[in-house]
């Protein structure tokens, strides 16, 4: 045992400071009291190149002269260990380094040199950033989760208070997810949520904060829009993007939502929780008026029987003017009747004037409502499908012929 101890002592006595510095695995440099580098180990040299005789500022910032606030300078000034963190451009790109400077003193206690250890912590900081992002991001949609949305929104509220800009908080409840998951599987349900997130990303600006704070609840904090802008965004862009999605083929479901919007006024500030509660209350009130359905409700059996009597053709982007007041989309049409997408429930038996565009002149028709039923609620507006049969057609053979010609030209699908 004594022989082993003697061998170890001999080995230690043979070591030089350079051997010890190399063994640390960190970049080690020794600076004179004038902050010029007088020694580098190999790790330090690999980080910054050959810098002996240069100021440390030259190594770290590429600038001449001694700096006044680096860790080595502060160590000389304060006589104590100093730490700092800097991002430095190296041959490997932008890297983050941690510096620890300690004074080397003579027997009188005067600082004669500085020894500085440098550690590359680029990967550590990158991993920490990834963890922070993961902690506030919904892994499915990539949107901020509840924590992330609150964090970002609180910062925006502070800015709004300084700039006196109003903010609007939009809440959207996505309905029918349970039905999609049960009928089509969880994968289809996840895809519906991702699709909804993408629709919101396409609709709103980069400055707006979009989040998914619950399984089927999305929120958007809009920065400083005016009242007309809000109406245009909600009833225009968002509704249009949802309508395009719902009219695309290949899906047996629709994205159905109810919406509530609350205003943040910096003159009368409210908390984010208060705004969410207000928006949620508006959603509950909307649901009382227009209850979103989890799936398309089948029309009454009598209506279904009526439809099966007729040969129908689907139309591509075909519209009809209803009662000389509004344009509504045609779902399908036949020589005997028409199926429309409407924003209001049409009373059975009610008669309506219909105008279809034509190359020569508009085609004027009269239809009687056979059935009308709620398909769902999209962005606060009810979505109905209504079927009308044409009346008084036998009395006007010219109109009947024009209608058949219109159907032949407008049809995009073989007769159903």
- Residue 295 in any domain: the answer is no
- 339-394 pLDDT, tens digit each: 888 877 787 778 899 888 766 667 888 888 887 766 654 444 566 778 888 887 65
| Number of domains making up the chain | 3
Verify that 324 and 263 share a domain, yes or no: no
Mean pLDDT for the stretch of residues 165-169: 80
Predicted pLDDT of residue 236: 66
**For residue 131, is it within any domain?**
no
Indicate if 176 and 271 belong to the same structural domain. yes
Task: Give the residue among 287, 272, 284, 281 at the shortest CA–CA distance from 144.
Answer: 272
Q: Are 144 and 285 members of one domain?
A: yes
Please say which residue of 105, 125, 145 terminates a domain: 125
The two tokens of residue 236 are 């225009």
Confidence of residue 3 (pLDDT cuts 50, 70, 90): low
222 by DSSP, 3-state: which? Answer: strand
Please, which pLDDT band fits residue 11 given cuts at 50, 70 and 90?
Answer: low
Q: Is 416 a domain residue?
A: no
Half-sphere exposure at residue 309, Cβ-oriented, CA atoms within 13 angstroms:
12
Among 125, 159, 176, residue at a domain's last position: 125
Same domain, 167 and 275: yes
Instruction: Residue 153: name the closest of 272, 261, 263, 265 by CA.
Output: 272
| Total-model pTM | 0.45
Question: What percentage of the chain exceeds 90 in pLDDT?
Answer: 10
Question: CA torsion, points 48, 53, 57, 60, in degrees to nearest 10?
Answer: 0
Query: What share of the chain has pLDDT > 70, as a percent?
Result: 77
- Chain mean pLDDT for the chain: 77
Q: Decide which of 125, 148, 165 is a domain's last residue.
A: 125
Query: Does residue 286 carry a pLDDT above 70?
Result: no
Q: Report if residue 248 sits inside a domain.
A: yes
CATH code, domain carrying 333: 2.40.10.220
Give the domain extent around 58: 2-125
Q: Which pLDDT belongs to residue 228?
A: 60
Say yes or no: 160 and 179 in one domain. yes
3-state secondary structure 46-95: HHHCCCCCCEHHHHHHCCCCCCCCCHHHHHHHHCCCEEEEEEEEECCEEE
Domain check: are 73 and 173 in the same one? no
How far is 256 from 261, CA to CA, in rounded Å?
17
Asked whether residue 294 is assigned to any structural domain, the reply reads: no
What is the CATH number for 73? 3.30.450.20
Rounded to whole angstroms, the Cα distance separating 243 from 220 reads 19
Same domain, 162 and 271: yes
What CATH number corresponds to the domain at position 202? 3.30.70.270
pLDDT reading at 229 higher than 70: no
Q: What is the pLDDT of residues 15-59, one digit of tens each?
A: 567 777 777 788 999 988 888 898 999 988 888 888 888 887 777
- Would you state the pLDDT for residue 302? 38
């Amino acid at each position: 045992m004594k022989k082993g101890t003697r061998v170890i002592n001999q080995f230690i006595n043979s070591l030089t400071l350079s051997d010890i510095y190399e063994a640390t695995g960190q970049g080690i440099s020794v600076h004179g009291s004038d902050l010029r580098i007088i020694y580098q180990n190999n790790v330090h040299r690999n980080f910054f190149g050959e810098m002996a005789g240069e100021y440390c500022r030259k190594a770290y910032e590429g600038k001449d002269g001694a700096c006044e606030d680096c860790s080595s300078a502060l160590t000389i000034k304060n006589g104590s260990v100093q730490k700092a963190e800097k991002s430095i451009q190296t041959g490997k790109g932008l890297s983050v380094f941690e510096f620890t400077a300690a004074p080397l003193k003579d027997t009188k206690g005067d600082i004669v040199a500085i020894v500085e250890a440098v550690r590359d912590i680029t990967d550590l900081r990158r991993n920490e950033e990834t963890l922070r992002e993961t902690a506030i991001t919904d892994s499915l949609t990539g949107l901020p989760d509840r924590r992330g949305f609150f964090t970002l929104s609180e910062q925006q509220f502070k800015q709004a208070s300084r700039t006196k800009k109003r903010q609007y908080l939009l809440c959207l409840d996505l309905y029918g997810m349970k039905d999609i998951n049960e009928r089509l599987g969880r994968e289809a349900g996840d895809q519906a949520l991702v699709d909804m997130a993408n629709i919101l990303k396409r609709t709103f600006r980069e400055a707006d904060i979009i989040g998914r704070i619950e399984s089927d609840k999305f929120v958007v904090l809009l920065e400083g829009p005016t009242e007309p802008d809000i109406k245009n965004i909600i009833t225009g862009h968002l509704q249009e993007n949802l309508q395009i999605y719902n009219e695309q083929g290949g899906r047996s479901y629709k994205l159905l939502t109810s919406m509530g919007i609350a205003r943040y006024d910096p003159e009368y500030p409210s908390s984010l929780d208060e705004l969410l509660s207000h928006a949620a209350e508006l959603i509950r009130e909307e649901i009382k008026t227009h209850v979103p359905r989890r799936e398309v409700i089948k029309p009454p059996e009598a209506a279904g029987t009526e439809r099966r009597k007729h040969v129908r053709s689907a139309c591509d982007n075909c519209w009809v003017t209803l009662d000389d007041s509004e344009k509504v989309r045609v779902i399908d049409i036949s020589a005997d009747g028409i199926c429309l997408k409407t924003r209001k429930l049409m009373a059975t038996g009610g008669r309506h004037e219909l105008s279809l565009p034509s190359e020569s002149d508009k085609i004027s028709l009269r239809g009687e409502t056979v059935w009308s039923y709620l398909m769902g609620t999209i962005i606060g507006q009810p979505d109905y499908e209504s079927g009308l049969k044409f009346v008084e057609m036998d009395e006007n053979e010219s109109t009947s012929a024009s209608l058949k010609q219109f159907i032949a030209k407008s049809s995009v699908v073989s007769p159903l």
